[in-house]
Chain A
Amino acid sequence: MELTFYIAAAVAVLATIMVITRFNMIHALLYLVVSFLAVAVVFLTLGAPFMAALEVIVYAGAIVVLIIFVIMMLSLTREDVEQEKAWLQPKLWLGPALLSFALLAELVYLLVIAEMPAAPAAASYVDARAVGLALYGPYVLGVQLSGILLMAGIVGAYHLGRQKKKVIHRFLQEKEPQKERSAAI
């Protein structure tokens, strides 16, 4: 079981590295699916099978499919890949990577110095039943808020996604009227 965890963890990290280094969006998304599936395996090894299922269905399924649909709508071409390559200069990597590594180093340091209390004797397996009971027990308010959030997301996506009438913010109009006109043509 431990071995499974480490393999899955390694796959997840590698797949993520691949995601962030790809120039082609579809490739990146495929690696992203791999990464999500690996994380799902990690969930299984940690004893959260329900979450593993959700990870596969929602992240690897719904969200990635959504992004793919959008990418298809934008009808990207080979030039966009070249553009992506041009944008991703190595000198751009250095600063952010250093910053992130500093952050990671601090996290690791914190993990090392923290005195981890021993896990409880009981098995660390939490089944879907316990989750469901807690979700609709103490956390029912959170469920309702999530519902409102999803509702807002639907309304927001509908509102922002409409393209029948060109909606240009007045700031944009005033600032770059000519550009907008050419865009309209």
Chain B
Amino acid sequence: MTTIPMETGLLLAGVLFMLGLISVMIRRNIIFMLISVEIMLNAAGLAFIVAGNHWAQPDGQIMFIFILTMAAAEVSVGLALILQIHHQLKTLNSDAANFMKG
């Protein structure tokens, strides 16, 4: 149906992943970090879809469904943690939660 080469799809996934990674590294706001992680997860799912459709197999899409499930669970727990951190530290700065530094 399409003739989009797999490299292109994977490249897109790689770029998205890299953007998410940069964001995780430069942000201090813990909500932004969570959003960046979502971007990265989405990129990983995209890579699975690209590969699965290249071989015309459903496995790639199934992996995407699992990633989706995992992302949903992760976001719910992550947001609960963010609420706790904000409640206790009165800030969203992730560097503030460094009580256990060596």
- What is the total number of residues of chain B having a CB less than 8 Å from a CB of chain A? 76
Chain B residues near A80 (CB, 8 Å)?
Answer: 92
B71: which of A59, A92, A176 is its contact (CB, 8 Å)? A59
When A and B form their complex, what is the total count of cross-chain residue pairs whose Cβ atoms lie within 8 Å?
244
Contact B19 A13 (CB under 8 A): yes
Q: Across the interface, name the chain B residue whose C-beta is closest to A133.
A: B58
Residues 6 to 43 of chain A near chain B (Cβ within 8 Å): 9, 12-13, 16-17, 19-20, 25, 28-29, 32, 35-36, 39, 42-43
Contact A42 B12 (CB under 8 A): yes
Chain A residues near B90 (CB, 8 Å)?
Answer: 183
Chain B residues near A13 (CB, 8 Å)?
Answer: 12, 15-16, 19
Complex Cα spacing A126 to B34, Å: 31
Complex Cα spacing A180 to B20, Å: 34
Q: Across the interface, name the chain A residue whose C-beta is closest to B2.
A: A1
Contact A131 B61 (CB under 8 A): yes
Chain B residues near A17 (CB, 8 Å)?
Answer: 19
Residues 117 to 148 of chain A near chain B (Cβ within 8 Å): 119-120, 122-126, 130-131, 133-135, 139, 142, 146
Question: Could you mark each residue 61-81 of chain B with 1 if its beta carbon is under 8 Å from any beta carbon of chain A, else 0?
Answer: 110111011111111110111
Complex Cα spacing A2 to B34, Å: 32
- 6 A/B residue pairs, CB under 8 Å, sorted by A: A19-B23, A35-B16, A124-B55, A131-B65, A171-B100, A172-B99
16 other contacts beyond A5-B8, A35-B42, A74-B86, with CB at 8 A cut-off? A1-B2, A2-B3, A5-B4, A9-B8, A20-B26, A20-B27, A28-B35, A39-B16, A58-B72, A67-B34, A100-B18, A108-B14, A142-B66, A150-B69, A163-B87, A175-B99
